[in-house]
């Protein structure tokens, strides 16, 4: 019997993106196309004077946002259920992307993004319009709860998820944490506290990322065909000298980036009622 080829750790580091992207090519492309469509739609919407042209760009923004959310949710769900990764670092086909759990994960993420977007509009639009969007956001919360419940059931029934989960407790806790965040957002909207609601929906969007990472730890990619081919986080990470260099660069750059983001949020914090500056 010939020995199995195992890539050197330095080679494995270079394979991480090459393993991930082909394995989730359809959903990654969908998410990227959605992001590009949203960016183009937002920037080009204000140029034409005709209302019909602006409505067309609005449709592009909505479609792109939906596509990006579906792709991102499907990617997270696909990572959680494992990848048919071989010892040579290859992923055969895309059949693992076409599963009930991946579809449910995409729908759940789209629902969470819809609630978050509606909540953000209650924070930024003029008071009269914000009241309408607040009611819309509250009506979307039960839809998001149902979508999260559907994804949780699909995950519990998925043999791939059960096999790939290294620390399943985090996956089990995720739906309950999402329920709590969504219900907190709905309560805040009912009390006309859009800032608190926005913080709650933002947490709901961050929770799946943290939960997937914690569930798969210490792996970045879990192989469903060869446990020995699973890609550990340590192998996927950059080398120690690179991390040391980046660490020193982070010391001056991170505060500057965070400060710039905080400044942008502060400058554009007001409602779009003509009295506050707007970006576009």
pLDDT for res 16: 54
Can you state the angle between helices 194-216 and 51-81, rounded to 10 degrees? 30
C-alpha–C-alpha distance, residues 229 and 206, integer Å = 28
C-alpha–C-alpha distance, residues 191 and 101, integer Å = 35
C-alpha–C-alpha distance, residues 204 and 115, integer Å = 10
Confidence of residue 13 (pLDDT cuts 50, 70, 90): very low
pLDDT for res 168: 93
Number of C-beta neighbours around residue 268 at 10 A: 13
Long-range contacts of 28-31, Cβ-Cβ distance < 8 Å, separation of 24 or more: 28/71, 28/75, 29/71, 30/67, 30/68, 30/70, 30/71, 30/74, 31/67, 31/68, 31/70, 31/71, 31/72, 31/75
3-class SS of residue 181: helix
Kindly report the pTM of this predicted structure.
0.85
Q: pLDDT per residue over 217-251, tens digit each?
A: 999 888 888 888 788 887 777 778 888 888 888 88
C-alpha–C-alpha distance, residues 154 and 169, integer Å = 16
Pick from 136, 81, 84: which is nearest to 105 by CA? 81
What are the beta bridge partners of residue 91?
85
3-class SS of residue 231: strand
Confidence of residue 6 (pLDDT cuts 50, 70, 90): very low
Average pLDDT over residues 96-123: 94
Q: pLDDT per residue over 27-51, tens digit each?
A: 999 999 999 999 999 888 878 778 8
pLDDT above 90: residue 116:
yes
pLDDT above 90: residue 179:
yes
pLDDT for res 12: 46
> Angle at CA 161, nearest 5°, toward 110 and 185?
35
Q: Which are the contacts of 25, defined by CB distance < 8 A and separation ≥ 6?
A: 94
Number of C-beta neighbours around residue 165 at 10 A: 21
Domain boundary assignment for the chain = 9-237, 241-280
DSSP-assigned letters across all residues of 90-156:
-B--SGGGSSHHHHHHHHHHHHHHHHHHHHHHHHHS-HHHHHHHHHHHHHHHHHHHHHHHHHHHHHH
pLDDT for res 46: 78
Answer whether 47's CB lies under 8 Å from 71's CB: no
pLDDT above 90: residue 14:
no
Total length of the chain: 280
């Amino acid at each position: 019997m010939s020995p199995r080829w195992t890539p050197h750790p330095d080679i494995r580091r270079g394979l991480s993106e090459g393993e991930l992207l082909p394995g989730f090519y359809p959903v990654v492309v969908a998410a990227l196309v959605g992001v590009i469509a949203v960016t183009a739609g937002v920037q080009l919407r204000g140029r034409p004077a005709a209302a019909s042209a602006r409505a067309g760009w609005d449709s592009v923004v909505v479609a792109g946002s939906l596509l990006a959310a579906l792709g991102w949710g499907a990617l997270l769900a696909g990572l959680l259920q494992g990848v048919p990764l071989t010892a040579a670092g290859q992923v055969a086909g895309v059949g693992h992307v076409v599963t009930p759990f991946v579809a449910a994960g995409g729908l759940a993420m789209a629902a969470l993004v819809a609630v978050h977007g509606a909540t953000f509009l209650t924070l930024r639009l003029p008071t009269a319009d914000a009241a309408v969007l607040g009611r819309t956001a509250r009506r979307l919360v039960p839809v998001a709860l149902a979508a999260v419940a559907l994804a949780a059931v699909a995950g519990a029934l998925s043999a791939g998820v059960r096999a790939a989960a290294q620390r399943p407790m985090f996956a089990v806790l995720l739906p309950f944490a999402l329920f709590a965040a969504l219900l907190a957002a709905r309560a805040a909207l009912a009390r006309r506290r859009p800032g608190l609601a926005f913080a709650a929906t933002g947490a709901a969007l961050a929770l799946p990322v943290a939960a997937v990472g914690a569930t798969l730890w210490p792996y970045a990619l879990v192989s469903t065909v060869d446990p020995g081919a699973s890609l550990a986080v340590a192998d996927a990470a950059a080398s120690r000298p690179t991390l040391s260099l980046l660490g020193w660069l982070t010391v001056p750059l991170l505060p500057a980036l965070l400060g710039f983001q905080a400044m942008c949020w502060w400058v554009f914090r007001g409602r779009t009622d003509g009295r506050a500056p707007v970006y576009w």
